Structure 1
């Protein structure tokens, strides 16, 4: 028998309570739940039973995040829609108005409640064929009238000035028999420099035949012609403290032309040479020397011919052939013309004004063609010259030797009297009014211009 004391009676076995939960407290709790009752699990919260997921509240956070992203996206879309349809301010019919951005004219009319009256459809005689069948409205945007097509496609951005008025009447479809009205020509003023001040533009008269009514109506002059104006003037240099004179040489090139060019180079002076086209090919080196030395080239025409006695085609031939000869020899195209004998009629202007930038005569004749000696030439020029004058000297084979003798003295005397010796282009540029009217680097008929037709009246000539 063991030698110890027990704490319980040895006459009865100890009793153990039945614990189906493997002795865990949760097992006892499950035992205590009533059948059919629903109980809230600790991990379940108030959102109902979870089907999956780890950790406490993991799926809840994802749901909230999706809601926030969705709201942000809706806000972004809403802002884009607002921006695309925002209002901008314009001036409408003289008053401030708000319109939706990118609106066209028709939308502005609808949104602003405008009610412009449509024009009518007219017969060719002006009578009304159908009320309200003209244009629905007229529109002007920032001072520019809009066609119906442009009014429908224009998009307003804000800040524009828009005027919307009633529509215009339109004529029935019709055939047009048009007659061109040629411009006339006037020559104004006096002086050695002549140029086109106003280019002629043809007018138009029309006869309409209505396709719907069959009416035939003479509309008369629907576009007035613009008459051409040639102005003759003198050069007036703008600088009060400077004096300019242009020496010009006619009828070259000669055997002495290159000597003349050399004298000008040594004296640091410049001049303008008017050459005859038919002499250029036989003395191309002299023409190249003129161009290379910084002096200026013009033409006398192709031959020593009175241009006033020629018809239009022959006048044009004389000028174009002369210009082409110089271009072939010196790779430069002159635009200045000194016609033989200084004779260039109104008819010549009407026939060939698009071929020249200016027609140049002279204001001082040296008289060298009289062959009275170099001293006479120098004294004549120096005694006659004034600021802005154009001096005539001759470079043909008969007078060139005298010219070569007189030229150094003439340059020295003119400089002693304060003159700068310049080309004709430089002389024209010295006149602030004239330099903007004559472009010696450009010839040709401007867009929309046409050559004039002389009225039946006595002709006049430009002369010295």
Structure 2
């Protein structure tokens, strides 16, 4: 047999029991610990850390396309905004369609279109030419409105405008102006029981110019015509049906409530022209009249001939009378029946801004003459016509006679087919007059003034 030895034992080994791990080095390699010394594990700084094996990272192949799509959408959005802000719109230029960038100015339009226009001349105050082409550069209208040359750079076009651009207008040199106001005059036209302002007076103007360049002085005459005032008088003409208005002057009286009772009993309405000083002791009567469905208006503050009053006194009479009615009745009125029916052209010139309508009458009952109830009935029923305003008197003197005559008047008028209404209701039956007359207020235009009477007209009545 070969003469060799083995490097390992051929004896069987006893089974080896693995000790439970204590987290310490084997005893053969363990060294004594010094006080305060800490044991460092392999994973805390030496030895090879166990590598965690992972598969290769997967790359998202769709990501670049998403980014590209978002970028394209953003570019498209920005482009659309730029297009919208700078888009072209169509206008009409001198009767033909033209395309311009939105919000372009007139100044830009003129430059882009290369329009051939001629500037106006600069004129002296006497119309002689001071400088050729020294006037307005262009005459520009947008939708019919003249545009000043100083505003051409700020007037923007948004589409659809009708633009007219032509030769510039002549312009006058700078000049001083001495102006004279032309006062409107007054005329009263027509006839009838109701008078009102049809046309308000607007002042005119004449001028004298002195040029700052030429030094010339020129009377330019009337540069603005005055609009004269017209007071129209006419009566009500109902468009259809038969209507009359009973009206009572000089009230209220101690008979007013009984008059209202008779009206209510016959389903009739009326208008009461109340005297301001008589309301002082009987304010309740005014609200009672309104509560009964009838109408109140002014008979002036006192029983005074207004045609004899100065302008200041007239205005006081009117204002105090209207205020007294409104304060007692709680409703406003601008309807006036002047005492004796007298209201002159001078009265209109002095106070037309206070009076909505002056109301007289078509039919005078004559009851203030105390002819007796039967005669009063005959005076009314025998002469009545469609649209008439009938004069009656609510006073202490005529009261007993009126209470006897009134029921007969109402019944006979109703038998003849008439409806008895307030003054406002009567006016409403005439469409033309209803559009022209307002009994509740006065609306004087801002540019209107009170007229001046011609010397020949002063003192004349209606």
What per-residue deviation string (whole Å, max 9, x for no partner) do you get for residues 14-64 of structure 1?
A: xxxxxxxxxxxxxxxxxxxxxxxxxxxxxxxxxxxxxxxx75765x75555
Kept in 1, the 8 Å contact 2:252–2:275? The answer is yes
Distance 1:362 1:252 in 2: 17
SS of 1:237's equivalent in the other structure is coil
SS of 1:205's equivalent in the other structure is strand
Query: How far did 1:201 drift?
Result: 0.6
Aligned to 1:246: 245
Q: TM-score, normalised by structure 2?
A: 0.83
Change (3 A) 1:344 1:119: same
Distance 1:313 1:200 in 2: 20
Query: How far did 1:276 drift?
Result: 1.6
Aligned to 2:295: 296
Distance 2:397 2:74 in 1: 97
Aligned to 1:427: 426
Distance 1:126 1:77 in 2: 57
Establish whether residue 380 from structure 1 lines up as the match of residue 347 from structure 2: no
Query: How far did 1:288 drift?
Result: 2.0
Is 328-337 or 419-428 further displaced after alignment? Answer: 328-337
SS of 1:282's equivalent in the other structure is coil
Kept in 1, the 8 Å contact 2:335–2:440? The answer is no
Aligned to 1:282: 281
Query: How far did 1:106 drift?
Result: 1.4
SS of 1:325's equivalent in the other structure is helix
What per-residue deviation string (whole Å, max 9, x for no partner) do you get for residues 422-457 of structure 1?
A: 111111111011111112222142221111111121
Query: How far did 1:149 drift?
Result: 5.2
Kept in 1, the 8 Å contact 2:333–2:441? The answer is no
Establish whether residue 76 from structure 1 lines up as the match of residue 47 from structure 2: no
Q: What RMSD in Å do the two structures reach over aligned CA positions?
A: 2.1
Distance 1:75 1:284 in 2: 80
Aligned to 1:28: none
Aligned to 1:361: 360
- Count residues with an aligned counterpart: 408
Establish whether residue 177 from structure 1 lines up as the match of residue 153 from structure 2: no
Query: How far did 1:153 drift?
Result: 2.7
Query: How far did 1:248 drift?
Result: 0.5
Written as runs of structure 1 = structure 2, the 5 A alignment for 1:248-397 is 248-397=247-396
Aligned to 1:452: 451
Written as runs of structure 1 = structure 2, the 5 A alignment for 1:31-46 is none
Aligned to 2:87: 86
Distance 1:209 1:295 in 2: 63
SS of 2:118's equivalent in the other structure is coil
Aligned to 2:139: 138
Distance 2:352 2:346 in 1: 10
Is 389-398 or 280-289 further displaced after alignment? Answer: 280-289
Distance 2:256 2:176 in 1: 63
Query: How far did 1:95 drift?
Result: 1.4
Distance 1:302 1:148 in 2: 58
Written as runs of structure 1 = structure 2, the 5 A alignment for 1:142-181 is 142-148=143-149, 150-181=151-182
What per-residue deviation string (whole Å, max 9, x for no partner) do you get for residues 370-420 of structure 1?
A: 212222211221111011001000112110221122112211111111111
Aligned to 1:121: 122
Aligned to 2:461: 461
Aligned to 1:401: 400
Is 324-333 or 200-209 further displaced after alignment? Answer: 324-333
Distance 1:406 1:150 in 2: 74
- Give the gaps of 5 or more residues in structure 2: 2-55
SS of 1:314's equivalent in the other structure is helix
Aligned to 1:228: 229
Kept in 2, the 8 Å contact 1:93–1:162? The answer is yes
Query: How far did 1:231 drift?
Result: 1.2
SS of 1:301's equivalent in the other structure is coil
Kept in 2, the 8 Å contact 1:109–1:115? The answer is no
Distance 1:251 1:64 in 2: 98
Aligned to 1:190: 191
Establish whether residue 417 from structure 1 lines up as the match of residue 408 from structure 2: no
Change (3 A) 1:394 1:114: same
Distance 1:383 1:420 in 2: 17
SS of 2:156's equivalent in the other structure is coil
Distance 1:431 1:218 in 2: 49
